[in-house]
Structure formats: C-alpha cells, structure tokens
Amino acid sequence: MIHLHDIRYVRLGTANLDESVRYATEILGLEIARKEAKAVYLRSDSRDHTLCYFEGDPRDHTVAFEVDTPEELESALVLLTGNGYQARQGSLEEMERRYVRDFINFKDPSGNSVDLVFAPHHSGRRYFPSRDAGITGFSHIGLRTLDPRRDEAFWTQLLSAKVSDRIGDAPLLRIDEIHHKLALFPSAFPGVQHINHQVESIDDIMRAFYMLQERGIPIRFGPGRHPTSGAMFLYFEGPDGMIYEYSTGVRHITAEDEKSYRPRTFPAIPSSFCMWGSRPDIPEFKS
C-alpha cells in the first residue's frame, strides 16, 4: 500500500493567467510566492506553494500528495505500473517546476492526474495574505470520479486513504486525523471539483460571504454546515468555473477514535450536504 503523508498542492491550467492570479490574490486571499514566464505560484500557509496557475488548458488539473521517503516513491511507481496504471517518473525539469526533490505522476482509474512528491519545498517566510481572509491553510480537494465505488477501492486499497463517511456513493476520504483530505464526487468527466482552504472562524466565512456578494462573485453553496465533517462552509466560483471553499471547524478522527469509528452513509439529498438548509448550486452536489 502507498502511504500518503499529506495533500500538497494543486496545479491548474488557465486561459487567462493574469485574471486567475488577480482572483487568487484579491478575492481568495492567497500570497504570490513567485512569478515565472508562464506560471504563478501561490501560498496559503508555510508550504512553498499550494496552488499553481499556469498557461494552458483549463481542464488540465493535477493534485499532489506527499510521501515520506524516496524508497516509498520508488515502491509506489512499481506498485502502480504493476497493477496496470499509467505512472511515470518525473523529469528533472518537471521537478524544478514543482519545487520538489523527486516525484512520480499517475492517472487514477477516472483519469485524474496525481503527483506523488518527495521532499517538497517549504518557505522560510511567514505566509502573508494579500487580504485578511483568515486562511490558515490549504486542506482538501473534491475530485471528480466516473465510478465512485471503483475509485474508492483504488484510493483505499492501493493507497492509504480511509473512508470517513459517504454521501450516496461519494466517499469522503482521510489520510490523517482530519475528517477528509479528498472527496470523490460522481461526474461525467475527471478533474478537480473544488479546492478547500481552512479559515480561522465562522466570522471569516461570514465576512467572505458579504464581500463576495459586494464583488458580484457567484456563491454556489452556503453559508452552511456539513453534517458529515461538522465544518461550517462557503463555496464560491473562481476562474474557469473552479469552485473554491472556505470552511472551519472540521472534525478530527484520532487514532483512539478509530477503534470504534464506523463510516456513516448519508442519502444523496440536500440535507446530507448542509444541516442548516442551504441548497447547493453545484452539479455534483445535486441529487
């Protein structure tokens, strides 16, 4: 089994790099780590970067997870290729663009692009947001799946994810104590479905809610509270149709909790996504 240490970054192609970066700084509240010829790297915590926008196809998405040792990375490549998955060693140029010592890339069964990285760079500077959004860090992603049961088996049997809960057939998967770092939502095509940043409190969510309304940014869900993770949330639309989420108060499942914890299954109805009554304007969240 491939042990996933943590989620690391997301890479997104965009047709308008300048506009995407403006949104990431002025609306989302990220800090520019560096600008390169055709890419901009953005920070939300102590990591070198957690989001990279690059000039390219807006459907070109990659999410990265970290492993602990070079031996684990080598074993992962052998295990993935041995099980018939598309996996390859990253080139030196690609490593430099990702700011990691080493990495492999593979496609999950739905065709999502995933990097496994070893020794990703951290920043020696404190994260300094471009606006007071209250962000404490990049936390999780929603990923589209063409077959949630098949892909759940892939992420839990070949990789080290564990099911925390399910909404319909959509599993919410953890790789550490946090309720989920990855959620798989049924869709007709692959790609990143939403990107989550944690904020300090409900005050940050409500401040964002009113700011987004004033700026005319489409709010797609919330404010609300998930009955699964317990997190209070707000989802809103970004460049190229990407959905971003702020949330706070997410549940932790400790090693002690795991002795008795059993995943719950919620029906695929609006109240399973929000216990306060907010209804999603997000295709993958609609029954």
Cα–Cα distance for residue pair 196/275, rounded to 1 Å = 19
pLDDT of residue 130: 85
Same domain, 158 and 185: yes
* pLDDT tens-digit readout, 275-284: 999 999 999 9
Answer whether 224's CB lies under 8 Å from 246's CB. Answer: no
Please provide the distance, in angstroms rounded to a whole number, between the alpha carbons at the two ends of the chain: 33
Give mean pLDDT, residues 198-220. 98
Torsional sign, CA 129, 38, 189, 114: negative
Answer whether 248's CB lies under 8 Å from 202's CB. Answer: yes
Same domain, 158 and 278: yes
Cα–Cα distance for residue pair 247/62, rounded to 1 Å = 22
Same domain, 111 and 144: no
* pLDDT tens-digit readout, 97-152: 999 999 999 999 999 999 999 999 999 999 999 899 999 999 999 999 999 999 99
Query: For residue 130, is it within any domain?
Result: no
Same domain, 167 and 281: yes
Answer whether 279's CB lies under 8 Å from 218's CB. Answer: no
Query: For residue 264, is it within any domain?
Result: yes
Same domain, 213 and 109: no
Same domain, 146 and 52: no
* Domain range enclosing 254: 135-285
pLDDT of residue 259: 87
pTM for the structure as a whole? 0.97
Q: For 152-208, list the strands marked E by DSSP.
A: 162-167, 170-174, 182-186, 192-199
Max CA distance (Å), the chain: 53
Residue 11's domain is classified under what CATH number?
3.10.180.10
Same domain, 187 and 274: yes
- Alpha-carbon distances, residue 212 vs 140, 141, 280 (angstroms): 21, 21, 16
Cα–Cα distance for residue pair 33/163, rounded to 1 Å = 34
